[in-house]
Structures are given as structure tokens and as C-alpha cells.
Amino acid sequence: MTRDNSILAENISAKHFALGPLDGRYSQIGEKLAPYFSEYALVKNRVKVEVYWLKFLLENVNGSDILDAFDIVRLPEIMAIYIDFSDDSFMRIKEIESVTNHDVKSVELFVAEKLKEMGMDSLVSFVHIGCTSEDITNPSYANMISTALSEVWIPVAEQLIDKISEIAINHANTAMLAHTHGQPATPTTVGKEMAVYSYRLKKSLENIKSIKACAKFNGATGNYAAISVAFPNENWPVLAKRFIEDYLGLKFNPVTTQIESHDYICHILDGIRHFNNVLRDFDLDMWLYISMEYFKQIAVKTEVGSSTMPHKVNPIRFENSEANIKIGNGICAVLSDELPRSRMQRDLSDSSLQRNIGLAFGYSVQAIEQTIGGLKKVAVNTEKISSDLDSKWEVLAEPIQTVLRKYGIPDAYNQLKELTRGKNISKEAIQEFIKSLDVISDEDKATLLALTPSNYTGLAAEIVEDELKK
């Protein structure tokens, strides 16, 4: 960095020098997720697992004079090592790591150091006993992922679903020309098309919520070998399950190598990727609806749409969402493809990969929030929608030919194709054709004559009512 740049840096926020947007332009997202996925968060969670493991041993394991002799009244002092974890704690661990060059061992030594400060030297040998580094790390990531999901990602996903559902309910009866293959199709309602996405996103979210974060705690190659030698009279699979589920609040994985298989992480990431893909589909549709002027963008006086075209209001939030989905899904895919693989009982590729899980969450949250922001700045353009519908009376060819089929007219489809295909048909032409149909009853004729592009929406409103107002 040049001298000028050094001077500049003193007066500019660090986020403007960030390498990536989640720490820079989108730093508000990075700040939301940093408590869950940062190096600080990982270290703090490792301290938690080490401390809770010692607590578990003191409360559940027999066969040790040292454990039996401990005054359980002093247990809160041990728990405070985690509960009172601070910046100073983190920096001390990093200082130890600079000597050991081992990130988990440094946590173990830190906890031991704290015990010595409290005069609990006798317990030092029980810190990390029977553990491999992965026994500390995999529950840490499980806790980080599960809490980030429940406290950040799921709430923002629910906000999106709620916003789309709100539009669906408010416009359940707002008739709109549908498009298949980009061409005018039979009418639908704005609300029903919004309900499609609300329903899809809700189901995707339910799938993610059903996935339980898993953890293992069974030693170097998953066989409880060392701890079973030291405490042969204990049922270690039962105890490990109790520790993981009752003390850490995770789901126990009983059969592993040295590492937890990471399958649940893949399921979560695949779930997020699917949610993102549905959202991207929604973003694309909203972009098209805005382009067609079915939705109006609410202009903000101080904002600029185009640097050269003063009239423009661009759908930038939906475009931003789409772009961040592409990045986030790429990260999700790499992690999901690679995390389940390990050379025999373990290698360290997963260690480096897992450090990027927060990025997958971050780009997804950025995308979701951008779409929410976009929806807050649009309004249904009923005037344009009505105008388009009123110019497409040919869409009534479908109900007419369907009624004719009821009367056994074999070429009903061809009759209506001849009348309407590739043509803009007036209201008068459609109604004259209906009046000429002598083969149908007066009741059916009256029903067809009462149809308009605006009221030919089938059960669209009822679908919204049934699915979103339950």
C-alpha cells in the first residue's frame, strides 16, 4: 500500500477494503452471520464443547477418584470459562495457537490454563480426555449451523413467504392474463400466481426445518477405543448419545469414522439451494411482470434509476437477488459435493471446506432480503392488467371448445382454432360465435355469454383461500 493509500485507509471504514461483498458492500449481512460462522464463533463453540464435556464427566462418569472428589458446588466456576468467553479469551487462545500451530489443542490448553487459575489443577488431565479434535469441532459446527438457521436464515425466509402470501391474499381476485411459453394463455389471478411461490417456498422451508444437526463423540476412529480402556465399565455409546443430545442439544450420530459424515450439512445446503432456486424463479417472474408493467415500481425521489435515462426505475433488487443466488448456490453445490468425501477414516479437506459454510448462508440471506426489499417497492398495476385482459378475448376459446366437447362435437378444438389462433378477436366476434352455437343448451349459452377474460379465472381465488388462509 502506498503512502497515500495508507492515509486514505485511516479515514475509510474497513468494510470498503474488504475482499468480498459480505464483509464489504453487504456487510450488514456479514455482521448478522459473523456471530455464528466467524473464527471467533468457531473458537467460542469449541470452548463450549470442551467445558460441557468436562461437566458431563463430573456428573456422569464413575471410576475416578479425581472426578469423585470434585466439589460439584464449584461447577459453575468451570462453566464460566465458556459463559464469560470474551475478546480476551479469544486472543489468548490465538496466542497459544501461534506456538502450538494447532487450533483445537490451543482451546484445550486455554481451558486447562483457566482451571489452574481457579486452583483446579487435578482436573487438567480430564480436559479433552478420550477426544480427538473432530469430537470438539463437529459439535461446534453443528451448533453454529443450527443456531444460524433458527436465528437468522429461517426468520428471513419466513419474512419472504409472509410478504408473498400478503400479496396473494390481497389480490386473490385480481384477474391477470397468464402466459405460457411467453404467449397469452387463459386468465389467472395475481394472488394465485403469488400463492404458487408462497406454497413452494413454504414446503422447501419445512424440509429444511425437518433436518436435524448431528454430531459424533467417539474418538480417533469412531470406536471409543481410548476412553474404553481408561473407563472399561462405562457404556460409552450410551454416554456419548446422552452428552450430544442432552448436554449439547444435537442429534447423535452413532456410527462414524474419525469425522462426522457431514451428511446432514449437505441436506441443509441442498435444502437452501432448492429454496434459492425457487426464489430465483420468483425473481425472474417478478422481473418479467415489471417489464410488462403488471407491477409498478414505486419511485423514491432521491434514487437514480439510470445514469443517462432519467425516466427509468430499474428492478435492481430482483436482479441483485438473482445474482447472489448464483454465487450462493455455487458455494452450496461445492460444499455438498465435497463434504461427504474423506480418504478412509479422515483427511483435512473438510476442515477447510467447512469454513465457507457461512458464505453459503450469507449470499442466500442477501438474496432473500433483496427480494423482500423489491416487493416492498412494487404495486400491482390493475389498470395495465385489465387493459391487457380486455384485449385478449380469444382466451375464451378454451371454455367454448370445452363446452362443445360436452355435446360430443368432435372437431370443437379445430373450430375454435380456426376462429382464434394467432388472431386478436373482439368481444363481439366471440359472442356472435357463441350465439351461433345451436347444439348447446340455452343455459350453457348464457354461461358462455357471461364469460369475460376478467372473470374466466376458474377456482384461482378459492385456491388462494384454501392454501393461505388456513
The H-or-E segment that residue 462 falls in is helix 460-468
Residue 97 is assigned to a structural domain of this protein: yes
Measured CA to CA in angstroms, residue 84 lies from 89, 90, 124, 143 at distances of 9, 11, 19, 18
Note down the domain range covering 125: 34-129
Domain presence at residue 459: no
CB 398 within 8 A of CB 186: yes
Judgement on whether residues 296 and 408 belong to the same structural domain of the protein: no
Question: What are 300's three cell numbers?
Answer: 423514491
Q: Are residues 372 and 426 in the same domain?
A: no
Mean pLDDT is lowest, of 264-273, 305-314, 370-379, for 305-314
pLDDT at 127 over 80: yes
Of 383, 414, 440, the domain-final residue: 383
Across 25-44, average pLDDT: 93
- Global confidence as pTM: 0.90
Q: Among the three residues 103, 129, 155, which one is the final residue of a domain in this structure?
A: 129
Residues 354 and 403 in one domain: no
What's the CA gap between 343 and 348, in Å, rounded? 9
pLDDT of residue 1: 41
For the chain, give the percent of residues with pLDDT over 90: 71
Same domain for 339 and 401:
no
Q: Are residues 154 and 262 in the same domain?
A: yes
Q: Are residues 269 and 181 in the same domain?
A: yes
Please check whether residues 153 and 282 belong to one and the same domain. Answer: yes
The residues annotated with a catalytic role in the active site are: 181, 306
* pLDDT value of position 410: 75
Stretch 136-161: mean pLDDT, rounded?
97
pLDDT tops 70 at residue 187:
yes
pLDDT at 305 over 90: no
Please count the structural domains in the chain.
Answer: 3
Q: Which residues are 179's β-sheet partners?
A: 184
User: Quick check: 143 and 48 in contact, CB under 8 A?
Assistant: yes
Rounded to the nearest integer, the mean pLDDT of the chain is: 90
The answer on 144 and 209 residing in a single domain is yes
Q: Is 194 found in the same domain as 105? A: no
The C-alpha angle 361, 364, 370, rounded to 5 degrees, equals 140
pLDDT confidence band for 9 (50 / 70 / 90): low
How far is Cα 29 from Cα 27, in angstroms, rounded to an integer? 5
**Inter-CA distances, 2 with 24, 275, 312, Å:** 21, 45, 40
Q: Check which CATH number belongs to the domain holding 356 and give it.
A: 1.20.200.10
- Asked if residue 416 and residue 287 are part of one domain, the reply reads no
Judge whether 49 lies within some domain: yes
Task: Give the pLDDT confidence of 95-119 residue by residue, as tens digits.
Answer: 999 999 999 999 999 999 999 999 9
Distance CA 68, CA 59 (A): 9
- The answer to whether residue 231 is domain-embedded is no
Q: Do both 295 and 355 map to the same domain?
A: yes
**Three-state SS for 179?**
strand
List the one residue out of 470, 448, 468, 451 whose CA is nearest residue 460: 468
